[in-house]
Amino acid sequence: MIAAGIDMGTQSVKVAILKDGKILSKGKAFCGFKPKDAAEEAFEEALTNSKLSRDEIRHVTATGAGVDLVSHFDSTISMMGADAQAGVYFFPSARTVVDIGAEDARAVSCDERGTMLDFVVNSRCAAGAGTFIEAMARALEVKLEEMGPLSIKAEEATPINASCVIFAESDVVSLIHRQKSKEKIARAIYAALADRVSSMMHRLGIKPEVVLVGGVAEDVGFIAALERTLGMNILIPEDPVFAGAVGAALTASKRIEKVK
């Protein structure tokens, strides 16, 4: 039984193909200005990797902020629902799944079957999502992937006005003029993002284990900052950016079972 999930994010589209509940292959493409083409591209990549043809896929479930832009799918699932499914799939003990994407952040509580119980979302403020780190990497003139390693070199954070991405941008410029270390600035930025995510999680209530997924879950700087803020260990699956797609594919598998 073969099922697929498509996660149409704000920055990239991810596809996961599952066979009998096991991940068979993945595909990813950047949305750019042609998100529909990107969805096709990611799907083709996943098919090629699994050496399958499109006809062999029984059910496709789509999710993500741009779900309306996906042209071929059989059903949809909410982003929160997909997160819950994926979190428990990766770690059966997961009860809270945190998903930090480019432009939004979510925390979802779930039961042992991966059913979503409750959730909180921030999609209104860039200071609570991955965009924040990107903007700060630009301001610091370092590559995005260097930000995390840079931040964990610092023993402490430099005080910075990090409530807003726009304010933080100008603050970073003056901190650089005052010759503050990039490491300490980077650490301050991760601390600020982790604080926002943690206060969002507290609104939901934090039940262990906590699983972190989404693009930002690949960032060592953020992981360290969130663990510090929460005072607990966080579980991170392999390829956390595909969690939404895997969650959607799991949903697709369940829907095939139901029809049987």
Partner 1 sequence: MEKVQKLEYWRWPEYHRVVPGKDWKNAEIITAGVDVGSVSSKAVIMTDNEVYSWAVLRTGSNSSDSAKKVMGWALEGIGLKLDDFDYIVGTGYGRVNVPMANKAITEIACHAKGANYIWGPTVRTILDVGGQDVKAISCNERGRVTRFLMNDKCAAGTGRGMEVIADLLKIPIDKVGEASLMVDKEPGPVSSTCVVFAKSEAVALLRSGWPKKKVLAAYARAMAIRMSELLQKVGCKEDFVITGGQSKNIGIVTRIEEILGVKRLPVPKWEETGLDPMAAGAIGAALFASALYKKSSNR
Would you tell me which residues interact with partner 1 (CB under 8 A)?
Answer: 33, 103, 124-127, 131, 135, 161, 163-167, 170, 173-175, 177-178
Rounded least distance, CB 167 to partner 1, Å: 6
Taking the least distance from each CB to partner 1, the nearer of 129 and 235 is 129
Taking the least distance from each CB to partner 1, the nearer of 176 and 236 is 176
Taking the least distance from each CB to partner 1, the nearer of 48 and 174 is 174
3-state secondary structure of 214: coil
Rounded least distance, CB 63 to partner 1, Å: 21
Q: 3-state SS string over 136-198?
A: HHHHHCCCHHHHHHHHCCCCCCCCCCCCCHHHHHHHHHHHHHCCCCHHHHHHHHHHHHHHHHH
Rounded least distance, CB 116 to partner 1, Å: 25
Q: How far apart are CA 73 and CA 189, in angstroms?
A: 39
Taking the least distance from each CB to partner 1, the nearer of 12 and 85 is 12
* Residue (of 49, 50, 62, 40) closest to 20 by Cα position: 50
Taking the least distance from each CB to partner 1, the nearer of 75 and 163 is 163
Buried/exposed code over 85-119 (b: 16+ C-beta within 10 A; e: otherwise): bbbbbbbeebbbbbbbbbbbbbbbbbeeebebeeb
Rounded least distance, CB 228 to partner 1, Å: 22
Q: How far apart are CA 166 and CA 156, in angstroms?
A: 23
Rounded least distance, CB 168 to partner 1, Å: 10
